[in-house]
Structure 1
Amino acid sequence: MEPSTVREQLIEHAVTLMMTHGYNGFSYRDLSSLVGVKTSSIHYYFPKKEDLALEAVNVYSRDVMGAVATIDASLPADKKLDRYAKLFGRVMGDGTQICLCGMLAADIESLPDDVRHAVQAFFKTNEAWLTKLLEEGQADGTLRVNGKAEGAARVLFASFQGSVMASRLFHSKARLDDVVNTVKAA
């Protein structure tokens, strides 16, 4: 769906810029040229870059978790994991961007506190979903887990984040498949 308002366009372009360049890699001037408004107009909607980044993370998180929620609950756990991996593949787009929150995690020391907390919440939400999925996969025999599901979920999510970075580096989405295959039962 195309963004219809200037505010929505600013958020969409901010997400893309942060996914490709990080928090410190773009300015309101960049957004101004992309959206076709003056920087003073951007400040009207988002007085500080922190405000824009926080809203971008919140919108991105809602969109990602909304997509995760559409994964058919009746599927076996391994098939749900496949669908989840495809979501990560879509995040990469043409291979030039990585997960917004993964990119921002790399900038964590320069992020304002509220943005850092929103990024942490995104990680925790994904890890919680993966924990339940791994527990389900253990129960139905489609996924194997070494140790506790909660710890395995953190490792799995970190692997997904790392795989999109490596996929960007090597221009290949095959790294995502490698992550999924590490937990699938034979």
Structure 2
Amino acid sequence: METKLTVREQILDHAITLMMLRGYNGFSYRDLSTLVGVKTSSIHYYFPSKDDLVLEAVNQYSDAVMVGLQSVDPALPARDKLATYTKLFGKTLGDGDQICLCGMLAADIESLPETVRQAVQAFFNANESWLASVLAQGAKEGTLIVKGDPESAARTLFAALQGSVLASRLFHTKSRLEDVEAMWRVAR
């Protein structure tokens, strides 16, 4: 049995999708009111300002990503963890027309409040930390090629993944994302 989303949940879901497609400045409460079927005053009831809505959207998105990372079996070899991560990351592409919410917001960061900047930075830091632990494991196992320290390599990898979804969107292909993963693998 499918659970019907509350108005608040619908607003958040649509806001996340619109930001992944268009960025912070590419949607309005009017867009959301049309999609959800409520007046803009109803949206303001739940989220008094757009900044409140965006912060809650980032937190919800980040929490979902962290749940995905926590679901990765810790007993897996690092190369398999990285492959799982890449698949999870690839899901953000949807039909190939959207990118990671926090990646999109990072491009808009100068027009966002400090609270959203901090939430986006926390998302990047959490992903980079998780990747650093996987890269350290892979270097120890000999299943991943890691140049330099795992923390620097993780920042480089995360930046490459963020860039790959931009290129994947531009060229309408997920192969850009797969190319990044392939750079870090050791032949089996």
TM-score (norm 2): 0.97
Return 5+ residue gaps in structure 2 as ranges: none
Residue 176 of structure 1 aligns with which residue? 177
Report the count of equivalent residues: 186
Whether contact under 8 Å (1:3, 1:9) holds in the other structure is: no
1:37-70 CA-partner distances (Å, limit 9, x unpaired): 0000000000000000000000000001101111
| Residue 97 to residue 134, structure 1, CA distance change in 2 (3 Å) | same
Alignment of 1:67-106 (within 5 A): 67-106=68-107
Amino acid at match of 2:70: A
SS of the residue 2:91 aligns to: helix
**What is the identity, as a one-letter code, of the residue corresponding to 2:146?**
V
The answer for the alignment partner of 1:5 in structure 2 is: 6
- Is contact 1:3–1:12 with CA below 8 Å preserved after alignment? no
Paired letter, 2:77: P
Question: Identity of paired residues, percent?
Answer: 65
Q: TM-score by structure 1 length?
A: 0.98
Aligned counterpart, 2:66: 65
Aligned-pair Cα RMSD in Å = 1.0
Trace 1:88-167 onto structure 2 (pairs within 5 A). Answer: 88-167=89-168
Aligned equivalents of 1:55, 1:24: Cα separation in 2: 16
Report runs of 4+ in structure 1 exceeding 3 Å deviation.
Answer: none
The Cα of 1:106 is off from its aligned counterpart by 0.3
CA apart distance, 1:3? 5.6
Distance 1:83 1:141 in 2: 18
CA distance in 2 between counterparts of 1:153 and 1:89 reads 17
Distance of 1:57 and 1:183 partners within structure 2: 28
- Separation (CA, whole Å) in 2 of partners of 1:2 and 1:142: 42
- Deviations 1:75-134, CA, capped at 9 Å, x for gaps: 100000000000111111100100000000000110111011100000000000000000
Matched residues in 1 for 2:120 and 2:27: separation? 18
Aligned equivalent of 1:56: 57
Instruction: Give 1:177 shift.
Output: 1.0
Comparing 148-157 and 176-185, the one that deviates more: 176-185
Distance 1:169 1:126, change over 3 A: same
Query: How far 1:2 moved relative to its partner?
Result: 5.9
Letter of the 2:143 counterpart: T
The Cα offsets for residues 119-167 of structure 1, whole Å up to 9 and x where unpaired, read as 0000000000000000000011100111111000000000000000000
Equivalent pair of 1:127/1:157 in contact (CA under 8 Å) = yes
SS of the equivalent of 2:184 reads coil
- Give the aligned residue type for 2:29: Y
State the Cα distance separating 1:183 from its structure 2 match: 1.0
Distance in 1, matches of 2:69 and 2:166, equals 21
Contact 1:131–1:153, Cα closer than 8 Å, also in 2: yes
Amino acid corresponding to residue 101 of structure 2 in structure 1:
L
CA distance in structure 1 between the aligned counterparts of 2:10 and 2:22, rounded to whole angstroms = 18
